[in-house]
Chains A and B, each alone.
Chain A
Amino acid sequence: MDASALGTFLQYLINGLALGAIYGLIAIGYTMVYGIIRMINFAHGEIYMIGAFVAVTTFSILAAAGVTSVPLALLLVLVMAIAFTAAYGWTVERVAYRPLRGAPKLAPLISAIGMSILLQNYVMQTQGARPKPLAPVMNGGVTLWQGDGFAVNVSYIQLFIILLTVALMVGFTQLINRTALGRAQRACEQDRTMAGLLGINVDRTISLTFVMGAALAAVAGVLVTMYYGVIDFYIGFLAGMKAFTAAVLGGIGSLPGAMLGGLLIGLIEAFFTGYVSGAYKDVASFSVLILVLVFRPTGLMGRPDIEKV
């Protein structure tokens, strides 16, 4: 491989990592909710979209208020986005899923699809259907390597996406593995009834799971807004599908699986766009999903569900 080809490869890798980080953040919400109530929360993509809208709104309010410090603005935007989407996540669970606990599995699934359509239209009605642009918040980047007619660049925003995602995932894994709340979530995942009998408030634990998933999706929404600079009310659908694919690819219910799946989907898209065709990148990621499901139905890191008789 000559230097230029290697440079191109590295550039696609960096692009793919940034994209995969975002998918991974959204996928965690899918996988955690599935783990605890065995339901696909199809409204999760919309929560991410709402996070992006809160980001755009907060950025413009801050700009109007004359806040020029980028770190401060970022912090405020993240806090606002997390606060809003957490409220949305909690409410969605409360009104659309909790009343259906114990109903046949199809009922909450349909309720979720309804919730997704409702949130999309609600944002379209209140924010307008036209795409919303955002002036670049973070400019520039570093050139890692420059050669004969090519350069490998990491923009600051890509760097920010990757670092923030890694930090969040490390923190999140700690939360699940090392704290009382995480233990309660795992207990509810494995035997909800027994968890209740040991004094765990199962409903509240489920609500907190939705809130946590929504908070991570909000971060993804903020990052995407800054990365692409334009959003509309429909971005939740495809991103949600991709993240769901990532969660299934990694093994739904598995936290490291969701992270790995997100990363893989991001990389597949970036490489396929670079080497084959940008128009067919979605075909590539969904084909990989189909292949994985055919040969490894539980996903890459999922545990087979063996029912003891």
Chain B
Amino acid sequence: MNAPLLSVTGLTMRFGGLVAVDGVNLTAETNRITALIGPNGAGKTTIFNCLTGFYKPTSGELTLNRPGQLPVSLQTLPGYQVSRHGVVRTFQNIRLFPRMTVLENLLVAQHVGLMKKAAFGVAGLIGLKGWRTAEKEAIDRARFWIERLDLTSVADEEAGNLSYGVQRRVEIARAMNTNPLLLCLDEPAAGLNPKETGVLGELLQGIREQFGIGILLIEHDMGLVMGISDRIHVVEYGRKIAEGTPEQIRSDERVIKAYLGEPDEEELPAIVAEDVAGQEGGRA
């Protein structure tokens, strides 16, 4: 059996006395949608931040196995190198370049390849042929995603002026323009209405099928998670408490307990947990 695209082993992230992620193991495979769920403050976004070079994990291994290439330890890469190796993420609170058009946002995502062909932009300035072809290809690729995500009518508008749901789609389109092996989505359905969420689910499945990439998904919308995930990992208080298919997770006692609480549980731990969640949200 091949090594999984992403394999995380013993990931631990400490902030002073707070252990946000504690020895988590998880894998994400090519051509699969892997979901990461758990109550607020469970450490899901922290895991993403470790994956994409935001945080240097206290300990643990984050290995990316690219087909036909040597494995890479993601935790040793500087932030800007992570996407060059094929891992890209989106944010819970959307982070587009607000004063650039949608098309430009997608072109920025193709920067690395373009710069190589453009000799630091000098070739672009004097309009060399190699650069023009590269730029045209980049625009074609961006246009493909603009059409695919139904953004044609807003392609030349500044991203900051678009509505929330549209910005989400732009963010996914932009991530796909980096040509990723693993697409990490942090709550892509947050703020979407049920209809938009349905469209998003179909889109993610479509991307997975058409491009065979791995998708790692943090999401609170259980309908979406159960509907499209191939495998689900559940974390609570920084620890992984369950892993399995949607059917297994749905009936897992620990998961139900984590989400609904025990019948006779005192209220204090819940309040504390919410507080920790608030702090974590502020950091991310």
Contact = CB atoms under 8 A, between A and B. Distances in A.
Contacts of A196: 53, 79-80
Given A187-B97, A194-B95, A197-B83, A179 B124 contact: yes
B84 A199 contact: yes
A94 interface: no
Contacts of A174: 125
B111 A199 contact: yes
* Size bracket of the B interface: 20 to 34
Contacts of A309: none
A191 interface: yes
A178 interface: yes
B100 A186 contact: yes
B125 A179 contact: yes
B97 A179 contact: no
Contact of A180 (B80, B98, B121): B121
Given A180-B124, A194-B97, A199 B52 contact: no
Interface string A168-186: 0001001100111111101
B145 to A, nearest CB: 14
Nearest to B117: A180
B125 A175 contact: yes
Given A196-B80, A197-B83, A187 B108 contact: yes
Interface string B70-90: 000000000111111000110
Nearest to A183: B108
Given A171-B125, A199-B84, A183 B104 contact: yes
B86 to A, nearest CB: 10
A195 interface: yes
Given A187-B97, A190-B97, A190-B98, A195 B118 contact: no
A200 interface: yes
Chain A's interface: helix, strand, loop or mixed, by majority? helix
B194 to A, nearest CB: 26
A146 interface: no
B120 A197 contact: no
Interface string B174-207: 1000100000000000000000000000000000
A198 B79 contact: no
B95 A184 contact: no
B112 interface: yes
Given A194-B95, A199-B84, A201-B80, A182 B121 contact: yes
A202 B78 CA distance: 11
Of the listed residues A171, A174, A179, A182, the one surrounded by the most CB atoms of chain B closer than 10 A to its CB is A179
A195 B54 CA distance: 13
A191 B95 contact: yes
B88 A183 contact: no
Interface in B98-140: 98-100, 104, 107-109, 111-112, 114-115, 118, 120-121, 124-125, 135
A209 to B, nearest CB: 12
A175 B174 CA distance: 22
Given A184-B111, A198-B109, A200-B80, A190 B121 contact: no
B118 A179 contact: yes
A202 B104 contact: no
Interface string B38-78: 00000000000000111000000000000000000000000
A197 B97 contact: no
A73 interface: no
A87 interface: no
A100 interface: no
A193 B284 CA distance: 12
Contacts of B178: 198-199
A5 B84 CA distance: 64
A178 B124 contact: yes
Contacts of B107: 180, 183
A124 B137 CA distance: 52
Given A179-B118, A181-B121, A198-B109, A191 B79 contact: no
A190 B79 contact: no
Nearest to A181: B121
A208 interface: yes
Contact of A200 (B98, B100, B111): B111
B125 A184 contact: no
Contacts of B120: 181, 208
B97 A186 contact: yes
Of the listed residues B82, B96, B112, B118, the one surrounded by the most CB atoms of chain A closer than 10 A to its CB is B112
6 contacts: A179-B124, A180-B114, A196-B79, A197-B88, A198-B108, A200-B112
Interface of B: 52-54, 79-84, 88-89, 91, 95-100, 104, 107-109, 111-112, 114-115, 118, 120-121, 124-125, 135, 174, 178
The 9 closest A-B pairs by CB, nearest first: A181-B121, A179-B124, A180-B114, A179-B121, A199-B83, A190-B97, A199-B112, A196-B80, A194-B95
Given A180-B124, A195-B108, A199-B178, 6 more contacts: A178-B125, A179-B121, A180-B111, A190-B98, A197-B83, A198-B111
